[in-house]
């Protein structure tokens, strides 16, 4: 009689998240099942349900992880900025760098069904925290009169749309630039010629 594969992962959740990232890279965020994930992780097909009730909850966990990493990347990059607008610019470049370095997270964050974020509080909170970080950068630009007065969140959406567009084009290979250095140089050009100014 064949023996049942023993449950052996003490850190099953982390193993499943890592396996999910590998599968996202190969199949996209909607291209695999929890059964396939379990096989890849080397556990029984029921093991993923110890942590995730379905694939959407798994994707929400990957997205939440990505948004938290993105927030930290933007904050780290901004610390070397000389003024508010330079900090915003550095945070924007960090956004694009994150997309290039973490394409699987980026896919889970922005290519999964909308319900993945709206229906799972952890992902929704992580997404809002990342956006609020951007809002704070924009607000600081307004306070230093580098941005016009007005709806801060609207300006934040403008800034987000700008860097997200570059990031999306870069991660899908639609820019003529291929190296990270070239992509970030192009992104600087876009940012420098697109940000509103208050002076």
- State residue 199's pLDDT score: 55
Lowest model confidence (mean pLDDT) among 14-23, 111-120, 148-157, 184-193: 111-120
Task: Clarify whether residues 91 and 117 are in a common domain.
Answer: yes
Task: Clarify whether residues 115 and 44 are in a common domain.
Answer: no
- State residue 3's pLDDT score: 42
Task: Clarify whether residues 67 and 144 are in a common domain.
Answer: yes
Dist. CA 93–CA 189, nearest whole Å? 11
Task: Clarify whether residues 131 and 48 are in a common domain.
Answer: no
Dist. CA 122–CA 63, nearest whole Å? 9
Task: Clarify whether residues 39 and 61 are in a common domain.
Answer: no
Is residue 2 assigned to a domain?
Answer: no
Neighbouring residues of 29: CB distance < 8 A, sequence distance ≥ 6: 59, 107, 108, 111, 112
Task: Clarify whether residues 22 and 88 are in a common domain.
Answer: no
CATH of the domain at 31: 1.10.10.60
pLDDT tens for 157-186 read: 999 999 999 999 999 999 999 899 999 999
Task: Clarify whether residues 43 and 20 are in a common domain.
Answer: yes
Task: Clarify whether residues 36 and 134 are in a common domain.
Answer: no
Is residue 1 assigned to a domain?
Answer: no
By CB atoms closer than 10 A (0-12, 13-18, 19+), residue 125 is: middle
Task: Clarify whether residues 72 and 162 are in a common domain.
Answer: yes
Is residue 20 assigned to a domain?
Answer: yes
Ramachandran area for residue 52 (φ above 0: left; ψ -120 to 50: alpha; else beta)? beta
Angle, alpha carbons 181-170-99 (nearest 5°): 85
Is residue 198 over pLDDT 90?
no
Is residue 73 assigned to a domain?
Answer: yes
Confidence of residue 9 (pLDDT cuts 50, 70, 90): low
Task: Clarify whether residues 148 and 122 are in a common domain.
Answer: yes
Confidence of residue 1 (pLDDT cuts 50, 70, 90): very low
Task: Clarify whether residues 82 and 169 are in a common domain.
Answer: yes
**Cβ atoms 139, 154 nearer than 8 A:** no
Question: 132 lies in which domain range?
Answer: 56-192
Dist. CA 59–CA 42, nearest whole Å? 19
- DSSP letter at 44? -
Nearest Cα to 15, choosing from 53, 55, 70, 58? 58
CATH of the domain at 123: 1.10.357.10
Is residue 47 over pLDDT 90?
yes
Is residue 17 over pLDDT 80?
yes
- Alpha helices by DSSP H, the chain: 12-27, 34-41, 55-78, 84-101, 103-111, 115-118, 121-143, 152-171, 180-192
Task: Clarify whether residues 96 and 60 are in a common domain.
Answer: yes
Between the two ends of the chain, the Cα-to-Cα distance in Å is 78
């Amino acid at each position: 009689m064949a023996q049942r594969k023993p449950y052996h992962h003490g850190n099953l959740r982390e193993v499943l998240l890592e396996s999910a990232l590998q599968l996202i890279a190969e199949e996209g965020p909607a291209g695999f099942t929890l059964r396939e994930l379990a096989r890849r992780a080397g556990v029984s097909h029921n093991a993923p349900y110890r942590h995730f009730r379905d694939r959407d909850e798994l994707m929400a966990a990957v997205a939440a992880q990505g948004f938290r990493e993105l927030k930290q990347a933007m904050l780290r990059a901004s610390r070397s900025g000389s003024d508010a607008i330079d900090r915003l610019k550095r945070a924007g470049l960090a956004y694009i760098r994150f997309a290039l370095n973490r394409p699987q997270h980026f896919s889970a964050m922005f290519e999964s069904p909308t319900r993945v974020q709206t229906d799972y509080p952890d992902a929704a909170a992580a997404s809002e925290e990342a956006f609020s970080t951007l809002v704070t950068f924009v607000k600081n630009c307004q306070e230093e009169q580098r941005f016009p007065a007005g709806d801060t969140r609207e300006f934040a959406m403008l800034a987000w749309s700008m860097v997200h567009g570059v990031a999306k084009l870069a991660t899908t290979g639609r820019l003529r630039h291929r190296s990270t250095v070239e992509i970030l140089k192009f992104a600087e050009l876009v940012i420098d010629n697109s940000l509103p100014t208050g002076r």
